[in-house]
Amino acid sequence: MASGLRIALLQLLAREKTANILQKAEQYISEAANNGAKLAILPELFTTECHPPIFVQKKESIPEGETSKFISHLAKKHSMHIIAGSIAEEIKGSEKMKNTSAVFNPMGKLIGKYTKMHSFDVDMGENFSIHESDWFEHGNNTLSFETDECKIGVGICIDLRFPEVSRYYTEQGCLLHVYLGAFSQQKTGPAHWDVLLRARAIDNQVYVAACSPAADHTHHYVAWGHSAVVDPWGKIISQADGKETLIYADLDMNYLNRVRQQLPVEKIRRKDLYHLTYKW
């Protein structure tokens, strides 16, 4: 495997028609490819704002829908992997949807789908009440895939709060954990976003990349933005602010191996005393 990987995170606004959002994604992905990125990452629900009527209006099928077909085309055109954020995936015969990410390889082939495992069902007061399970069916499986540089695991938003998911990806050999997340500017973003990203990176001695929608104050729900990449020592090596933007990070797997050699957590871990059991 190669030792280095340049990744690009597209922190997009989602206020327009799907076609316009995809056009903006194309501009950023073309720029990223020209600058040497081999993996492009889009945000959670990047073609919709976080508002149920818009989910219903813009729901799509995967891979037959407009977004999947377009991202597949871009992956093939630029010979790169693309984690196509997540979209409101249509469930035939059901009023509910799935919050699903699709991954395309450099040949434009769909190599996997991941549906958000945990539902964000909370009542925090101050007019902050969200019940995702009213709209979305949760997923029951993980998704990881191989690249020339490393193996990558995928999660969505609140999945970041559960170290069991990240631990599983580490046990499967994933050196980059990717989260597509829309933490809120009002509550969870300022308080928890950076802390959780750094914790998952330090816990597992891996790179963590998290891609958020841009903050849009015209929306019912304002995302925090601040897409970021964290290295295996827990250092934030690239981060956006709240605006629409494109950020890069260069991942060095030799550095990751040095961190693990200097602080050999896996050798110290008491696997004879405890372990996790997975049902996926």
Catalytic site includes residue 116: yes
Catalytic site includes residue 69: no
Sequence-separated (6 or more) residues with CB below 8 Å from residue 153: 142, 143, 144, 166, 168, 169, 172, 174, 176, 177, 178
Contact 101, 60 (CB under 8 A): no
Choosing from 50, 90, 116, 132, the catalytic residue is 116
Choosing from 150, 157, 174, 211, the catalytic residue is 157
Catalytic site includes residue 157: yes
Active site residues: 44, 116, 157
